[in-house]
Structure 1
Amino acid sequence: MTHAAPLIDPFARPIKYLRVSVTDRCDFRCTYCMTEHMTFLPKKELLTLEELDRMCTSFIGLGVEKLRITGGEPLVRKGIMTFFEGMARHLQTGALRELTLTTNGSQLVRFSQDLADLGVKRVNVSLDTLDDQKFAEITRWGRLPQVRKGIDAAKAAGLRVKINAVALKGFNDSELFDIVDWCAREDHDLTFIEVMPMGDMSEEARLGSYWPLADLRKQLAARFTLTDLPENTGGPARYVRLEETGQKVGFITPLTHNFCESCNRVRLTCTGELFMCLGQEDNADLRAPLRASPDNALLEQVIRAAISRKPKGHDFDYSRQKVDGQMSRHMSHTGG
Structure 2
Amino acid sequence: MQVQDIYLDSVGMYVPETVSAADAVAQGLYDPGMHAETGLTGVAVSPGVSGPDMAVIAAERALERGVLGKADIDAVFHASCFHQGPDGWCAQTYVQLKAVGRGVPAFEVRHGCNGMFDAFELAVCYLRADVGRDTALVTIGDNLDSPFIDRWRSAPFQLIGDAGAAAVLSARGGFARLRSVGSLLVQELEELHRGTDPLFPPPATTGRALDLGARSADFFATYDLGEFNRLSIGGLRTLVDRLVAEAGADLGDIARVSYMSVSRDFTEQRLMAPLGLPMERSCWEYAGHVGHLGAADHLAALDHLLDTGDLAPGDLMLMVGLAPGLSIGGAVIEIVDAPAWRR
Identify whether the pair has TM-score above 0.5, normalized to the shorter chain: no
The answer to which structure has the higher helix fraction is: 2
Q: Report which structure shows greater RCO (CA 8 Å, sep ≥6).
A: 2
| TM-score w.r.t. length of structure 2 | 0.29
